Amino acid sequence: MRIDESRKQKIVSFLRDFRAWTIAGVFSLLFSAALLFGARLDSVENVDVRDFRLWAFWPVLTLLFAVLTRLLWLCLDRLRERNREGEAKNKITYVFEKGDRFAVPGTFFFLFLCWLPVFLAVYPGFFVYDAQDEYVQVATRVFSTHHPLVHVLLLGGIICGVHKLTGSYNLGIACYMIFQMLLAAGGFTFLLSYLRRKKVSPVLRLVSLLYLGLFPTVVMFTLCSAKDALFTLALLLLLICLLEMGTQEKAFYASGGWQILFVLSGMAMMLLRNNGFYAFLVMIPILLFLQRKHWRRLLVLTACAVAGCLLINGGLKAALQAQSGEYQELLTVPIQQLARTYKYAPEAFSPEDEEILHEILSEEALRLYTPRLSDPVKYRFDNGNFAEDKARYVGLWLRVGMKKPLIYLNAWWMTSYGFWYPDMVINVYGGNSVFTFTYRDNSYFGYEVEEPGVRESKIPWLDEVYRRLSLEVWKEKVPVVAWLFSPGAMFWLYAFLFTKLLNNRRYEILYPYLPVFLLWLTVLLGPTYLPRYVLFFWYALPLFLAMNDDGILSERIRC
């Protein structure tokens, strides 16, 4: 019997180690590929699969990173144990826990006050990224579905309304920024309050509070008029709902409040970005499978969210007579693939195919091809011709792609590798001139105040700090610090945290990864790589770090 028990223990230990090495190996395999492929794309804008060094280095790096991954798992587990033992004696922990009565209002006002000096410095705020186009739609009463109509009405309505009352466009922009700051402070306060109720480490919550109040990427987009901040706040609330669904299944479905929040946050996410709608639809069948015991209730909740989104969007489109019919946003990658092939391998087009190509992309448009940004070519795409005979142009794309598949792959990678290559400098707009400046060596953040707004800084030195953070490359050259600003590095941090939980079989805590991963997949098909498209990596970081904390990890045990 003792021999049998000993053998069983050895088998269990072997299987546990095999599982851990497999998870670490897959993670390291993908991470090594990202480093090798990304480095080549960054330096020569092309991955040559015939380069034997690529395939020689890949297994070596995979083995190295697999060992490092396992060591990091062990170190983090030991660090958590030490923190748990010493937390009772920690003065910061004691002081932070004593402020129970003032936790919610204190957090809200602390965050708002952290952002207020920056708001004054960049007054009236960062009015950029399609802001002028959205405002003009409301001002001229000519609407299109190119931008989410809910955000168009919200942004343009506040600016036009305040301007009508006061005669000041800047004041209108400032009012929208204050409105968004209040929403962001409320969303982050809800997050930190939730982590407090889950008994997450007070030290981690304190660090999260300081991070949300002071980290530049969070502050920049909280003070930016683009739809990304509101979209990400809605997503953040949905992520919290999903974590509650996974860890407190019965309590979630017994609570009307959680279910209403799930529906409203999901609906808002879909209304504010089209890729949010697609990600939510794909998430539904996966959630129904994971929540088989409650599939009827969950089906009703998801159906309500989707129906609400469709009704609101459809109603606004009809009421505003918004024009639609643009295809270039969905066809960003195929457009780039055709343009790159035409530039580097024009022989792939027969005379007939070249004639078909010029029906949707003129010679002038094709000459504007840039590897990292599809906008110059995409904006000149002929939607009318494409709509008349879609099959004709899909056939063209397939025929050319079968001749030059590697060019197609490189065209796609060049507009997306910033989302998975950690050592990135974001400079997709280099050389482009906007209202008040020309992008030079960096285009991390827009910084601009588009017309009819104008920058009226109340704290010039702080305004200069954020100008340099937005438009200069130095922050992306500082070791370690650069990773905090990198979309690619943030993706791999999330992937590392995912593998750690997966190795520990904490499947109920993995629910929030589902929409994040699906949204990340959608941005790979976008026009370029910018932090704004994956803002959720920064806004949701405290939640995902807390998911590896004892408070969340012990949730199943407590219930």
Tokens at 254, concatenated: 């017994």
* pLDDT given at position 1: 47
For position 324, what pLDDT does the model report?
81
Q: How far is CA 425 from CA 17, 154, 174, 528, in A?
A: 38, 33, 31, 13
In contact, 364 and 346? CB cutoff 8 Å: no
- Give dist(CA 396, CA 492) in Å, integer: 36
Integer-rounded Cα Rg, in Å, for the chain is 25
Note the pLDDT of residue 77: 79
With residue 125 as reference, give the H or E element that holds it.
none
Q: What is the reported pLDDT for 301? A: 97
CA distances from 2 to 6, 11, 48 (A): 6, 14, 57
Can you name the residues that pair with 323 across neighbouring β-strands?
144
Measured CA to CA, the distance from residue 425 to residue 441 in angstroms comes to 9
d(CA 356, CA 375): 21
Specify whether the CB–CB gap between 61 and 443 falls below 8 A. no
Separation between Cα atoms, residue 23 and residue 2, nearest integer Å:
32
pLDDT at 80: 72
d(CA 60, CA 131): 47
Q: How far apart are CA 445 and CA 531, in angstroms?
A: 8
What is the per-residue pLDDT for 104? 86
DSSP 3-state of 69 = helix
Prediction pTM value: 0.93
559 residues of the chain, pLDDT tens digit each: 455 666 667 666 666 788 889 999 999 999 999 999 999 999 999 998 888 889 999 999 999 999 999 999 888 878 777 766 555 455 555 455 555 556 788 999 999 999 999 999 999 999 999 899 999 999 999 999 889 999 999 999 999 999 999 999 999 999 999 999 999 999 999 999 999 999 898 889 999 999 999 999 999 999 999 999 999 999 999 999 999 999 999 999 999 999 999 999 999 999 999 999 999 999 999 999 999 999 999 999 999 999 999 999 999 999 999 888 678 888 999 999 999 999 999 999 999 999 999 999 999 999 999 999 999 999 899 988 999 999 999 999 999 999 999 999 999 999 999 999 999 889 999 888 888 888 888 999 999 999 999 999 999 999 999 999 999 999 988 888 899 999 999 999 999 999 999 998 899 999 999 999 999 999 999 999 999 999 999 999 999 999 987 666 665 544 4
How many of the other CB atoms lie within 10 Å of CB of 559? 10
Closest C-alpha to 488, from 442, 549, 536, 424? 424
357 touches 396 (CB < 8 A):
yes
Residue 559's pLDDT is: 43
Q: What is the pLDDT of residue 557?
A: 44
Q: Which helix (H) or strand (E) holds 549?
A: none
